[in-house]
Structure 1
């Protein structure tokens, strides 16, 4: 497995790469380090291999393949060092392994974030959309923009293929390498999603962003964080001088107000965005625009500016205004950003499918939290009188949000088709039952259809030409995880196939 790597790294002696980190072990080695990796399959001469502890065991247990590949040195923690006793490779031991990995990764790739503008976005919902809108706003101002996030890695609108499975924020060696690759290929700005996992796991350590934006906080990832307070604190870590030079916060969310106040107290310049009178960028007058867009007024610095976007819903307009305010922080005039935002689209985010022959309107969206489901369906209800929703919940994740998602969908739909998402190792039927418990008292007709393919087909068969079918939860994803296997599955593709079968049955 080969990760994305730049054509040139910045090799230096091991002793320089780890200087000042307080490591124990043979840190005075002058052997050159050219790469850093977590994957023993990518180990090679000149590589610093990092052995991390994990949920299924310690990475040090894979040392044999790294040593056989003639790795130059190993960086690990005390537990890893115990497993590596007797290994004929220099072993460096860290008391803050993930932090030190990020610092070394930045050094190996020549501190790439220092050679471009970097803009980080965090929030429970809207990160992917806001990053895509940032790309549009910055590109409209003449910048060559890279993006890093849930839907992949892109440069100037073109996908960068990677053997790595896409995560919201890559581990620090891959993140720093990606920034270096994008810089080599002409990027002068990179917008990236910064997840709460990334902050806890120090994936963004080793760089200071030019601006960080906070969107919102809703229920999600409590299987990882444990409670909402810990989830909030993970997000809040981004808004310190160690990680960003400026903050932009949506302060209609009370969590955004808290983060804005903390950032000010820490000495960061803060830009506030919201609907109140005392914000730096004020949103007002939002209204839907057919076929699936919206317009509003932005007030800033004593001026009003109209904005139109090609995405439905107030929540997408909020994301657009956040992108505009963040772009303004790095020097893009609002009137230039507005033009860049006008026609921006995001794969799998309120994505309108073009189906033939009298098809209903079909939208695919990634909404996978109660807050996001409500926002997406509220947006569609403003333009359609008959809303049909297909929704499931992921397995091996926060169980308590399942009835909440069922309720959010049932309260905003005329027909709710409860089905499967990525059940992973859980029983799919038990996940559906939890959703149905939340949906039972709502206004919608609710049906349970096992098998996502069949649920999409059921929804399309029930729809009339004036209906909207909202297929929620997976968005851009091209696979469905059942057990430990990922099967090929794309909501947009399945909807097109289902409509084709529908036409064959009704000539």
Structure 2
């Protein structure tokens, strides 16, 4: 799928510099740019290349490569300018103090500020971003003929989609894709906004119609250091000039802290019986989907009028996601009745409480869920317990090169809420897989010193089959942590892998064995 518009009106370097509030030499000012990128491998003739410090190397080190690929100019900081000079790269340079933020503004200008030409919703929060985004898009479809979505699972324009490289793409890709959407007749779009993306200015130059906050829970403290720092990153989405209005779930203390300090018009949502006083949209009753398929709930709007609504997914967490999505879609211009109907009719979200194998007289129910934080794991296990007549079998691990403190905590949660545990690997990345499992096992042993009904199995594909084979008809087998993800990263190498596919392949072998035994 093409991530840029087919046609782009040339923009002078002088206009780019003016947008950024800097000066450029007269002989550079008249140069014309037609695209933008921060990836040296993606440079096309006419591009502005953004060069700034990366995790391993400064982007200016690729100056000679991008010059040979047709870049018109480089946008960088003082360090990058010196690298280009030292390396003898003969390209015009725009020097700014903050190249990351400036690149977003430059890309927005180059692609014609596409975010301003559509109903554009940004969704942030620790958990629920993907599900809420899909619910919002489903509601937007009630009044918009063509929609787009960008997030953890995919980048999609109408029915055309590709796998997403990350939760929130780099700013030039974001603006280029929005311009392509506009060119294709898209009038509304939704994007997930990770805290890393906000902190690293991947949303620079964007103007959201509505900014949405789902919750803040323990995650990413390896990057943000503290919960307050984590909230600060999320809060950047709600700054004046970045979003016209906000929708904030105030069920947790962090949502209430955010709502108390935002300066843009904001609507507050609560799904708890003891709703905070400041909430205007309040869920008053919920049937959380004991059939395992969906949930029903009622809520009151800011005028006190009661409405009936549905979530296509079970569990209180999805009542929350659905409620936030209804309010967000309504804030983006969808009539309330249409927003309610749109969310109720939403399709299954990949890797989010995804039922892969249905319960039968021979099979357990098999579910895939993305839960990868302590709170999300708790909600996932509590959500499936009511639909589990037999044992709850959990297959899980934890990411490498990420917040290590949550590993034993998740082990305790697993040992408390699951009947049987199959401990395995998630994305070890550069860490030793056995060390990650050992940290989780420490938490498990606080609850089960003898490790009763705890099995340690690797690789992950074998663990999924092991857990499925343990399951009996009344049991529920749930594998958490990776959800929709199409790869597993081990020792820096990405291997094709998906939990749903692993379930289905294992089930096919089990079915074949049953047939062979009957012959």
TM over 0.5: yes
Preserved CA contact (<8 Å) 1:24 1:94 = no
Superposed CA offset, 1:88-120 (max 9, x none): 111121101111101110011001011101111
In the aligned structure 2, how far is the partner of 1:6 from the partner of 1:248?
Answer: 30
Preserved CA contact (<8 Å) 1:120 1:192 = yes
Superposed CA offset, 1:314-364 (max 9, x none): 001100000000111122222222211223220111111145873211111
**Partner residue, 2:70:** 70
**Partner residue, 2:471:** 463
Give the alignment partner of residue 382 of structure 1, picking from 380, 383, 386.
386
SS at match of 2:267: strand
In the aligned structure 2, how far is the partner of 1:87 from the partner of 1:303?
Answer: 65
Preserved CA contact (<8 Å) 1:149 1:169 = yes
Matched, 1:9 2:8: yes
Give the alignment partner of residue 265 of structure 2, picking from 240, 258, 269.
269
Give the alignment partner of residue 439 of structure 2, picking from 430, 434, 444.
434
Superposed CA offset, 1:207-258 (max 9, x none): 2111111111111111211222211111112111121111111111111111
In the aligned structure 1, how far is the partner of 2:463 from the partner of 2:143?
Answer: 43
In the aligned structure 2, how far is the partner of 1:445 from the partner of 1:282?
Answer: 41
TM-score, normalised with respect to structure 2: 0.93
In the aligned structure 2, how far is the partner of 1:233 from the partner of 1:42?
Answer: 32
**Partner residue, 2:128:** 126
**Partner residue, 2:174:** 175
SS at match of 1:146: strand
Matched, 1:362 2:366: yes
Pairwise CA distance, 1:309: 2.1
Pairwise CA distance, 1:57: 1.1
In the aligned structure 2, how far is the partner of 1:299 from the partner of 1:183?
Answer: 35
SS at match of 1:307: strand
**Partner residue, 1:38:** 38
Give the alignment partner of residue 418 of structure 1, picking from 417, 420, 423.
423
Superposed CA offset, 1:51-89 (max 9, x none): 121111111111121111232111111111111103211
Superposed CA offset, 1:351-397 (max 9, x none): 11145873211111111111111111111012214211110111111
Preserved CA contact (<8 Å) 2:17 2:23 = no
**Partner residue, 1:449:** 457
Pairwise CA distance, 1:411: 1.5
Matched, 1:109 2:108: no
In the aligned structure 2, how far is the partner of 1:26 from the partner of 1:251?
Answer: 50
In the aligned structure 2, how far is the partner of 1:466 from the partner of 1:16?
Answer: 66
SS at match of 1:465: coil
Pairwise CA distance, 1:422: 0.7
In the aligned structure 1, how far is the partner of 2:170 from the partner of 2:83?
Answer: 23
TM-score, normalised with respect to structure 1: 0.95
* Worse-matched range after superposition: 272-281 or 72-81: 272-281
**Partner residue, 1:232:** 231
Query: RMSD in angstroms over aligned alpha carbons?
Result: 1.7
Matched, 1:206 2:205: yes
Matched, 1:473 2:472: no
In the aligned structure 1, how far is the partner of 2:300 from the partner of 2:66?
Answer: 57
Q: 1:57-456, aligned counterparts within 5 Å?
A: 57-85=57-85, 86-156=88-158, 158-161=159-162, 166-263=165-262, 266=263, 268-274=264-270, 275=272, 276=275, 278=277, 279-289=279-289, 290-300=291-301, 301-344=303-346, 345-354=348-357, 358-385=362-389, 386-442=391-447, 445-456=453-464
Pairwise CA distance, 1:143: 4.5
Q: Size of the alignment, in residue pairs?
A: 500
Preserved CA contact (<8 Å) 1:395 1:422 = yes
Preserved CA contact (<8 Å) 1:152 1:159 = no
In the aligned structure 1, how far is the partner of 2:363 from the partner of 2:185?
Answer: 43
SS at match of 1:19: helix
Superposed CA offset, 1:299-318 (max 9, x none): 11222111122211100110
Matched, 1:56 2:56: yes
Structure 1 residues 78 and 277: alpha-carbon distance in aligned structure 2, compared to 1, 3 A threshold: closer
In the aligned structure 2, how far is the partner of 1:48 from the partner of 1:214?
Answer: 33
Structure 1 residues 78 and 321: alpha-carbon distance in aligned structure 2, compared to 1, 3 A threshold: same
In the aligned structure 1, how far is the partner of 2:171 from the partner of 2:78?
Answer: 20
In the aligned structure 1, how far is the partner of 2:19 from the partner of 2:510?
Answer: 66
Pairwise CA distance, 1:24: 5.6
In the aligned structure 1, how far is the partner of 2:505 from the partner of 2:221?
Answer: 36
* Worse-matched range after superposition: 431-440 or 407-416: 407-416
SS at match of 1:295: strand
Structure 1 residues 20 and 331: alpha-carbon distance in aligned structure 2, compared to 1, 3 A threshold: closer
* Worse-matched range after superposition: 348-357 or 174-183: 348-357
Superposed CA offset, 1:151-198 (max 9, x none): 011233x24337xx6111111100001111111111111111111111
Gap regions ≥5 residues in structure 2: none
Structure 1 residues 330 and 143: alpha-carbon distance in aligned structure 2, compared to 1, 3 A threshold: farther
Preserved CA contact (<8 Å) 1:26 1:90 = no
Pairwise CA distance, 1:442: 2.8
Structure 1 residues 215 and 125: alpha-carbon distance in aligned structure 2, compared to 1, 3 A threshold: same
